[in-house]
Amino acid sequence: MKRIYLNLKRFDVPRVFDGINGIASVGDWSAYIVSSIQEKLKEPDFREADFVIYFPELHILPAIRALTEKSPVRIGCQGIYCEDTSANGNFGAFTTGRTASAMVAAGCWEVLIGHCEERRAIEQILAQAGVEKEETVNLTVNRVMNQEIRCALRRGMRVLYCIGEKEGEQKRWKQVLERQLELGLAGVDTSRVVIAYEPIWSIGPGKIPADKEYITKVACFVKEKTDGMEVVYGGGLKKDNAAMLASIPEIDGGLIALTRFQGEIGFYPEEYLEIVRYYLGEKETVI
């Protein structure tokens, strides 16, 4: 079974406010996306995969309401707070904190944790506090990720845990990834956790994408260190790399964000379906 994740980050911002959502009005775009793809994903071509979409918090409820009976799509949130509510304990005094309990109450059973953007946000807070020692920063960030994963699992959620090395960390990528795995998954039941590998150094305009050899060696390393946990490519599953990624036995799926990178950049449901079909249909093709 292949796992296809879709992270609609920043799609709650329309183009008029400098965002990249140009496919529907703010009030109904999440429902439009779910409605546009869920029936198509029931077709035989897509039966070898399962599908999760991570929505910004404001749009989770419309997306969930748009789900049809036996929809192949599951709805997830883009993160949770590192603490949660508890009976006879904290009733939820985490202003702006997106707790696991709140997301589950909304009907959301999937969560994305450890994305490079989330890690960078915590690093920036530590920098403002004058924390500069790299080991201290990494230790703190990964411990927070571990707390979030534990909160999610206690509430019955499934987790996509992102790991990856930055440009200055490439020469010691094994050490960096091993640390993220050991600290982030410490004491965790990994049966409901999938690993997403993000080569941060290769993501973004002007960057050279990670090639098959590099992705394969990292995926093999992660599986070795985690006793065979599922590993998906988190650096962007696209039409251009779908066949290559499908040809790597150690890669169990991918994470999609943008579908178009030129012209009116953004996410378009028909292009999403094309990427998924290309990935599932070209497993033996090597680029």
Q: Which of 110, 148, 165, 198 is catalytic?
A: 198
Tokens 């965790």: give the residue. 188
Whether 287 has a pLDDT exceeding 70, the answer reads no
Rounded to an integer, the average pLDDT of 80-106 is: 91
pLDDT band at 286 (very low <50, low <70, confident <90, very high): very low
**pLDDT number for residue 135:** 93
Rounded to an integer, the average pLDDT of 5-30 is: 79
Collapsed DSSP state (helix, strand, coil) of residue 3: strand
| Catalytic residue check, 264 | no
The answer to whether the CB of 193 falls within 8 A of the CB of 185 is: yes
- The pair of structure tokens assigned to 70 is 């036996």
Q: Which of 59, 110, 115, 118 is catalytic?
A: 115
pLDDT in tens, 31-55: 989 999 999 999 998 988 999 999 9
pLDDT: is 22 or 41 the higher one?
A: 41
| Catalytic residue check, 271 | no
Q: Quickly list H helices, 42-172.
A: 60-66, 100-105, 116-128, 134-154
Domains annotated on the chain, with CATH: 2-281 (3.20.20.70)
pLDDT in tens, 258-279: 898 888 888 899 999 999 999 9
- The pair of structure tokens assigned to 236 is 């962007």
pLDDT in tens, 181-226: 999 999 999 999 999 999 999 998 788 999 999 999 999 999 999 9
**pLDDT number for residue 113:** 98
